[in-house]
């Protein structure tokens, strides 16, 4: 399935053609959007119609080493998640 994914260059080709700009301008726009998303993730970064990038705190918990079955403590940590917007789900999966 991954072989059918759009590559970065295909995405830039598509954006530059649709927006009537050069590939360089399309690339700069996407890179700036990504940089802004990284910077603002701690506050929640929303791309309307696509989803929201958020930071979440995971609590410490007990887990198991799959090889030995030994119980181990997994420390608390922050994780980055992307919540898909309802409009995106409906567009991709179809409305129920």
1 Cβ neighbours under 8 A, 6+ residues apart: none
Residue 1 pLDDT level (bands cut at 50, 70, 90): very low
Spell out the domain ranges in the chain: 1-41, 44-96
**Of residues 32, 65, 33, the one with CA closest to residue 48:** 33
Q: 70 to each of 30, 60, 64, 66, 73, how far by Cα in Å?
A: 45, 17, 6, 8, 10
pLDDT in tens, 15-71: 999 999 999 999 999 999 999 999 998 899 999 999 999 999 999 999 999 999 999
CATH architecture under which domain 44-96 falls: Irregular (4.10)
What tokens were used for 68?
A: 């030995």
């Amino acid at each position: 399935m991954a072989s059918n994914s759009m590559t970065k260059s295909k995405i830039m080709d598509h954006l530059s053609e649709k927006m009537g700009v050069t590939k360089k301008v399309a690339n700069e726009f996407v890179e700036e959007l990504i940089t802004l998303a990284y910077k603002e993730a701690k506050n929640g970064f929303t791309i309307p119609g696509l989803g929201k990038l958020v930071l979440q705190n995971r609590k410490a918990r007990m887990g198991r080493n799959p090889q030995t079955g030994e119980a181990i403590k997994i420390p608390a940590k922050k994780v980055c998640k992307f919540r898909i917007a309802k409009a995106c789900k409906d567009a991709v999966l179809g409305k129920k």
